[in-house]
Amino acid sequence: MRTLILIYCLFLVTSVAFSQNCSKYYPMEEGTSFQYTMTNKKGKTEGVTDYSITNVENTGGVTTATMNMKFTDEKGKEILVSDYKISCTGDVVKIDYNSLVPAQMMKQYTDMGMEMEISGTDIELPNNLSVGQGLEDANVAIAIKMTGMNMNIKVDQLNRVVEKKESVTTPAGNFECYVITQDNISEIMGVKQTMPSKLWLAEGVGMVKQETYNKKGDLTNQMLLTKLNN
């Protein structure tokens, strides 16, 4: 379950773009950093995720940024450190689905004698967002092979729609955001779970807030931008 939660959190947070030159959303400069605090439905802190841009390269009209992520639990224990890449071409930013599975996690499984196969569809976000606009679906699937047993994990982002514009205030400031709704469907060993979510996205900043709900529409957790240094 910890594996699914970490992949799921990565999938949500990286559902947004990271470029000043070829996207309106998120700065793409080395040294830029930001922090999100995750809370449960009662407002209790469950963990903190710190991001920093460690490298930016421009080759053949494609801009690629390397993002470092560190997840710390509610007790201050470092749970995961990972790097992933985001590429930007023209007016669309793509997040490679392979990058959504942390190398540290893959190494742990490999050291245990397991094999992992990853497939999926890159996450895309265009510059020209507008209320009512539909966005492309995305997914990542992981097949874990071990002696005498195989385990399949899949996370889909479906029905992605720009719902409205809204002002949001967080400890990091006040932001004018587009609100993107989507259905997140996870599947482990044939057992499916649907988790609708909303994503608040601000120009030049990126994700400001994200809320996840159960199938009844009740809030289950929230991620909020609490620090920004750009």
Average pLDDT over residues 135-153: 84
| Helix, strand, coil fractions of the chain, as percent rounded to 5 | 10, 60, 25
**How much is the pLDDT for 11?**
52
Query: Is the per-residue pLDDT at 223 higher than 80?
Result: yes
**How much is the pLDDT for 48?**
94
Domains and CATH numbers, the chain: 2-229 (2.40.360.20)
- Reading the block at residue 154, the tokens are 């899949």
Buried b (16+ CB within 10 A) or exposed e, 8-47: bbbbbbbbbbbbbebbbbbbbeeebebbbbbbeeeeeeeb
Better-predicted residue by pLDDT, 79 or 163: 163
C-alpha pair distances (Å), 200 with each of 25, 131, 151, 165 = 11, 13, 33, 9
**How much is the pLDDT for 7?**
54
What is the tens place of the pLDDT at every residue in 56-80? 888 887 888 888 888 898 899 988 8
The set of residues, in sequence order, having a beta carbon less than 8 Å from that of 99 and lying 6+ positions away, is: 14, 83, 84, 85, 86
Average pLDDT over residues 152-170: 93
**How much is the pLDDT for 181?**
95
Query: Is the per-residue pLDDT at 89 higher than 90?
Result: no
- Reading the block at residue 141, the tokens are 């699937």
Better-predicted residue by pLDDT, 200 or 5: 200
Residue 155 pLDDT class (50, 70, 90 cuts): confident
Terminal Cα-to-Cα distance of the chain (whole angstroms): 34
Classify residue 172 by burial, with Cβ atoms within 10 Å: 0-12, 13-18, 19+. middle
What is the tens place of the pLDDT at every residue in 35-55? 999 999 999 999 999 989 898
Better-predicted residue by pLDDT, 20 or 173: 173
What is the tens place of the pLDDT at every residue in 96-115? 666 666 666 667 777 777 88
CA distance 150 to 152: 7
Query: Is the per-residue pLDDT at 16 higher than 50?
Result: no
Q: Please state, rounded to an integer, the average pLDDT across all residues of the chain.
A: 82
**How much is the pLDDT for 97?**
65
CA distance 104 to 86: 18
**110-118: which pairs have CB atoms within 8 A and are 24 or more residues apart?**
112/146, 113/146, 113/147, 114/144, 114/145, 114/146, 115/144, 115/145, 115/146, 116/142, 116/143, 116/144, 116/145, 117/142, 117/143, 117/145, 118/142, 118/143
Residue ranges of the alpha helices (H) in the chain? 2-13, 103-111
